[in-house]
Amino acid sequence: MRGVADYAVAYDISDDGERERVEKTLKDFGFRIQKSVFECRLTRSRLQLLLTRLRSLNLQTGFVKVYRIDRQFRPRIIGNAPPHPDEGAAFII
């Protein structure tokens, strides 16, 4: 899809309140893949909105890092990973 990129967003924050605000923000943009890592599929404008919202939290006890995932990169998953939300995890009732 043109104009859309995948991002991994990782954080390390020691204050419970700050961490909860970051988690709540990230849930609006992507899904959790690990305790402190989210995966997000964003347009350029949604990325800017995410960055603006994260900056507005004025974090004092940790940091958030946003990594762009290259489309050519194919992750190697070892073990029982849950299905990606965009890859055939549909249920028909």
Query: Side-chain half-sphere of 15: how many Cα atoms within 13 Å?
Result: 11
In sequence order, the 6+-apart residues with CB closer than 8 A to the CB of 42 are 4, 5, 6, 7, 29, 30, 50
Range of the domain at 47: 4-69
**Structural domain includes residue 35:** yes
- Give just the sign of the alpha carbon dihedral 82, 86, 92, 93: positive
Q: What is the CATH number of the domain that holds 53?
A: 3.30.70.240
**Structural domain includes residue 76:** no
Total-model pTM: 0.77
Any alpha helices (H) in the chain, and if so which ranges?
A: 16-27, 44-56
What confidence tens digit (pLDDT) does each residue in 3-40 have?
A: 899 999 999 999 999 999 999 999 999 999 999 999 99
**Structural domain includes residue 57:** yes
What confidence tens digit (pLDDT) does each residue in 34-66 have?
A: 999 999 999 999 999 999 999 999 999 999 999
Dihedral-angle region of residue 2 (phi above 0 means left; psi in -120 to 50 means alpha; beta otherwise): beta
